[in-house]
Amino acid sequence: MRAISDTEIQLSSQFDSAFLLEMHDHDWTAIADIFLTSHQQIEEETARFTCLAENGEIPELKRRVHLVKPLWGYCGLPLYQQRFQDLEKFLGGNPTIPDALIRLEQEKPFIQSGLELIKQEAIKIQESLKL
């Protein structure tokens, strides 16, 4: 793999690129790795959310939301982290099962869009590094 300058890769404007570059010392390979690891972990964890809510396991659901939350931040997506912070706070209020399910349904498109963003940017970085 060749060295790549920061100007050669432009992340989508939703990403805090400056923060990502500082965190990973301008290492695009490390950024792509973190995107892929986080994508996998967020996808796996969020897939369990509905089932946990249906079983009334709200404290466990809240714990898993808390676990996933900073991964958005590590991907340079602070707004997504904030949204999970709000979801965690909502679950801390011990909502009923139907209320929790409604809220999770509302979050689904948002989660999907975030995952898609991360995946696309990881692919974009990997393609640029191959050139």
Partner 1 sequence: MVMKFTAVIVEDLSVAADVLQKYCLKSGRVNVIKTFTTTEEAVPFLSENAVDLIFLDIEMPGANGFSLLDQLQYQPQVILTTSKTEYAFDAFEYSATDFLHKPFSYARFVQALDKLKVTEEKKEEPEEMSHVFIKSDGKLIRLNNDDILYIESMGDYVKFITHDKKIISHNTIKALTEKINPDVFCKVHRSYIINMNKISDIRDNMLYIANAKIPVSKANRSTVMSRIKIV
**114 lines the binding site for partner 1 (CB under 8 A):** no
How large is the angle between the packed helices 97-130 and 78-92, nearest 10 degrees? Answer: 160
Q: Which stretch binds partner 1 (CB under 8 A): 29-37, 51-59, 101-109, 122-130?
A: 29-37
**87 lines the binding site for partner 1 (CB under 8 A):** no
**19 lines the binding site for partner 1 (CB under 8 A):** yes
Distance CA 71, CA 102 (A): 24
Residue whose entry in the numeric block shows the structure tokens 């991360």: 118
CA distances from 50 to 60, 62, 98 (A): 12, 12, 11
**81 lines the binding site for partner 1 (CB under 8 A):** yes
**115 lines the binding site for partner 1 (CB under 8 A):** no
**34 lines the binding site for partner 1 (CB under 8 A):** yes
Distance CA 74, CA 65 (A): 15
Of positions 14, 43, 50, 63, contacts partner 1 by CB under 8 A: 63
Tell me which residues touch partner 1 (CB under 8 A).
Answer: 19, 22-25, 27, 30, 34, 37-38, 41, 63, 66-67, 69-71, 73-74, 81, 85
